[in-house]
């Protein structure tokens, strides 16, 4: 078979037709920052953190198919500055008070912040007033921290076959809703063992009675960058797919 | 060193944990005093800054009118203003009240709270007026550097101050950057 290649930051990267830029990069051990993407699910392309330049034009690496002749820029000061801006916006659009959040140290949003060198949030904070749904016996939903990545929506629909979650509204009004007449999690067949309960990249979906189980200093991102952690996870998933 | 760096510190709506963390640099404080001297600070009990201060470290966010006044005055005197800790950066734990209307907060604390006797909302002209929300400091003044953390570790202060004293652009390695 004729080998196909794209170029990422000057490095030749092989790909198979049908693969996205993200998939080809991951297989080659190149980390492209991402939050709404997880190779276990169909790409969603909403967070725009994975924006790269493809022959000079911006594109989301998680949805853009790899193709012949693509000269891609990924790890450049300019793109990383854009990613820093996006990460800051995600922070100010929610209520991310890390010292009071159980996910801290294991949170992908936080880890992306570290990765892109975010030391402050820069923009005025929205401090939105959002719902906390603690009705379910085993799982807690704090929409203050939801970044509307739709991972729980995809996991519940495609893996659990339950359709517990959905997104409602548009633009800034987009929000996560629960599919029950009351809108409460307790009135769904959601369970802590569901895939959807495990995929949230931030502290919006938390399993109860597990908070702060791992001491500070031993949490995932205390010692590993999201680049390392993500590549390891994503490569394992892709490997499993192909094998 | 001919001219020592003048360092001022102050606290707004915070818990003083960041100042405690600064003190945690322990005996390195003596080395620091070789290159820096403390100006206004709760550590020196000097209440106002000298005309010009090289580095101003400020912890805490803005929860009342006095915080805003203190922050503006502090900014005016500091050549380099450094926002220190989660409260200064995004409001931190005090900002957890931003969900709740101020009136309800006051009523819960002073009227309906468990164990409250002689219930009344404090209302003395000496008390600074509360802002309806807690805000980070960058929403009011220009901040030159940020040291994240709740609190930032002693090593963060040490790295930042020694970098500046050495005339270097301050930089924090990965292990020292935490938002919590
Ligand atoms: S979800 Fe992540 S970024 Fe948000 S408060 Fe929790 S730890 Fe911080
Ligand atoms: S709850 Fe979590 S997984 Fe679901 S959309 Fe929000 S951030 Fe994504
Ligand atoms: S990871 Fe590609 S848009 Fe979110």
Considering every ligand atom shown, identify the ligand nearest to the alpha carbon of residue A105 and give its number. Answer: 1
Q: What is the pLDDT of residues A23-45, one digit of tens each?
A: 999 999 999 999 999 999 999 99
A158 is written with which tokens?
């495609």
| Chain A residues whose beta carbon lies within 8 Å of the beta carbon of residue B90 | 91, 96-97, 121, 125
| Contact at CB, A99 and B92, closer than 8 angstroms | yes
**Beta strands, E only, A143-223:** 165-168, 175-178, 205-207
CB B26 within 8 A of CB B158: no
CB atoms within 10 A of CB A60: 24
Rounded CA separation A101/A203 (Å): 7
Give the pLDDT score at A1. Answer: 59
Helix (H, G, I), strand (E, B) or coil at B85: helix
B180 touches chain A (CB under 8 A): yes
CB atoms within 10 A of CB A50: 27
Rounded CA separation A172/A94 (Å): 11
> Angle B158-B163-B165 (CA atoms, 0-180°, nearest 5)?
95
Distance from Cα A211 to the centre of ligand 3, integer Å: 28
B12 is written with which tokens?
């707004």
Cα dist from B121 to B101, B118, B133, whole Å: 15, 10, 18
pLDDT over 80 at B92, yes or no: yes
CB A238 within 8 A of CB A39: yes
pLDDT over 90 at B105, yes or no: yes
pLDDT band at A240 (very low <50, low <70, confident <90, very high): confident
pTM: 0.95
Rounded CA separation A74/B120 (Å): 59
| Contact at CB, B90 and A114, closer than 8 angstroms | no
Cα dist from B110 to A74, A210, B95, B116, B130, whole Å: 55, 33, 19, 7, 15
Q: Which residue has the tokens 């900014």?
A: B75
Q: Which residue has the tokens 């739709």?
A: A150
Enumerate long-range contacts of A6-14, CB under 8 Å, 24 or more apart. Answer: A6/A66, A6/A67, A6/A68, A6/A70, A6/A71, A6/A72, A7/A70, A7/A71, A7/A72, A8/A52, A8/A72, A8/A73, A8/A74, A9/A72, A9/A73, A9/A74, A9/A75, A9/A76
CB B13 within 8 A of CB B62: yes
| Contact at CB, A100 and B145, closer than 8 angstroms | no
pLDDT over 80 at B139, yes or no: yes
Which amino acids bring their CB within 6 angstroms of ligand 1? A 96-98, 101, 103-104, 107, 109-110, 145, 202-203; B 179
DSSP string, A93-115: HTT--GGG-TTTTS-HHHHHHHH
Query: What is the side-by-side order of every strand in the sheet holding A57-60?
Result: A11-15, A4-8, A71-73, A51-54, A57-60
Tell me which of A98, A101, A104, A215 to substitute to probe the interface with B (most B C-beta atoms closer than 10 Å).
Answer: A98
Rounded CA separation A42/A160 (Å): 14
Closest residue to A119, CB basis, from B93, B136, B148: B148
Rounded CA separation A241/A14 (Å): 17
| Chain A residues whose beta carbon lies within 8 Å of the beta carbon of residue B96 | 95, 97, 100
Rounded CA separation A134/A207 (Å): 11
Q: What is the pLDDT of residues A123-171, one digit of tens each?
A: 999 999 999 999 999 999 999 999 999 999 999 999 999 999 999 999 8
pLDDT over 60 at A243, yes or no: no
Give the pLDDT score at B2. Answer: 55
Mean pLDDT of all residues in B122-143: 96
CB A97 within 8 A of CB B93: yes
The CA distance from B118 to the nearest CA of chain A, in Å, is 32
Kindly state the DSSP code that residue B4 receives in the 8-state scheme.
P
CB A99 within 8 A of CB B93: yes
Considering only CA atoms, which residue is closest to atom 2 of ligand 2? A200
Q: What is the mean pLDDT of chain B?
A: 95
B99 touches chain A (CB under 8 A): yes
Query: Using a 6 Å cutoff on CB, does residue A147 contact ligand 3?
Result: no
Q: What is the pLDDT of residues A194-232, one digit of tens each?
A: 999 999 999 999 999 998 899 999 999 999 999 999 999
Q: What is the mean pLDDT of chain A?
A: 96
pLDDT over 90 at B179, yes or no: yes
Tell me which of A127, A221, A223, A224 to substitute to probe the interface with B (most B C-beta atoms closer than 10 Å).
Answer: A127
pLDDT over 90 at A13, yes or no: yes
The CA distance from A132 to the nearest CA of chain B, in Å, is 11
Give the pLDDT score at A232. Answer: 97
A96 is written with which tokens?
């991310």
B151 preceded by cis ω (within 30°)?
yes
A240 is written with which tokens?
């499993």
Non-local CB neighbours of A139 within 8 Å, separated by 6+ positions: A185, A190, A191, A192, A197, A205, A206, A207, A208
For the CA atoms of chain A, what is the radius of gyration? 18
| For the CA of A110, the nearest atom of ligand 1 | 3
């Amino acid at each position: 078979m004729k080998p196909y290649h794209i170029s990422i930051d000057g490095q030749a990267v092989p790909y198979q037709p049908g693969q996205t830029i993200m998939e080809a990069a991951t297989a080659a051990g190149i980390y492209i920052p991402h939050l709404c993407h997880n190779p276990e699910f169909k790409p969603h392309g909403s967070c725009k953190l994975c924006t790269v330049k493809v022959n000079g034009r911006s594109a989301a690496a998680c949805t853009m198919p790899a193709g012949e002749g693509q000269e891609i820029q990924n790890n450049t000061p300019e793109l990383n500055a854009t990613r820093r801006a996006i990460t800051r916006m995600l922070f100010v659009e929610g209520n991310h008070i890390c010292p009071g959040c159980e996910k801290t140290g294991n949170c992908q949003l936080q880890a992306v912040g570290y990765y892109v060198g975010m030391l402050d949030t820069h923009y005025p904070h929205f401090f939105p007033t959002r719902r906390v749904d603690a009705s379910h016996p085993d799982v807690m939903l704090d929409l203050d921290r939801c970044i509307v990545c739709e991972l729980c929506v995809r996991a519940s629909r495609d893996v659990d076959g339950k359709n517990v979650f959905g997104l409602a509204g548009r633009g800034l009004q987009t929000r996560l809703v629960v599919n029950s007449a009351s809108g409460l999690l307790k009135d769904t067949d959601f369970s802590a063992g569901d895939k959807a309960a495990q995929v949230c990249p931030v502290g919006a979906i938390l399993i109860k009675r597990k908070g702060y189980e791992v001491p500070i200093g031993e949490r995932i991102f205390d010692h590993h960058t999201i680049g390392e952690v993500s590549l390891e996870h994503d490569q394992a998933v892709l490997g499993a797919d192909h094998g | 060193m001919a001219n020592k760096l003048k360092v001022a510190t102050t606290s707004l709506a915070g818990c003083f944990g960041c100042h405690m963390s600064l003190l945690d640099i322990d005996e390195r404080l003596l080395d620091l005093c070789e290159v820096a001297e403390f100006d206004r600070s709760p550590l020196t009990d000097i209440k106002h800054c000298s005309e010009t201060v090289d580095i101003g470290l400020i912890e805490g966010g803005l929860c009342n009118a006095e915080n805003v006044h203190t922050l503006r005055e502090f900014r005016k005197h500091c050549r380099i203003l450094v926002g220190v800790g989660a409260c200064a950066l995004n409001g931190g734990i005090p900002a957890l009240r931003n969900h709740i209307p101020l009136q309800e907060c006051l009523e819960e604390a002073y009227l309906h709270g468990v164990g409250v006797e002689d219930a009344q909302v404090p209302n003395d002209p000496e008390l600074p007026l509360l802002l309806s929300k807690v805000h980070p400091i960058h929403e009011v003044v220009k901040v030159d550097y940020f040291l994240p953390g709740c609190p930032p570790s002693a090593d963060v202060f040490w790295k930042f101050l020694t970098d500046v004293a050495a005339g270097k652009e301050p930089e924090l390695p990965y292990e020292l950057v935490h938002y919590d």
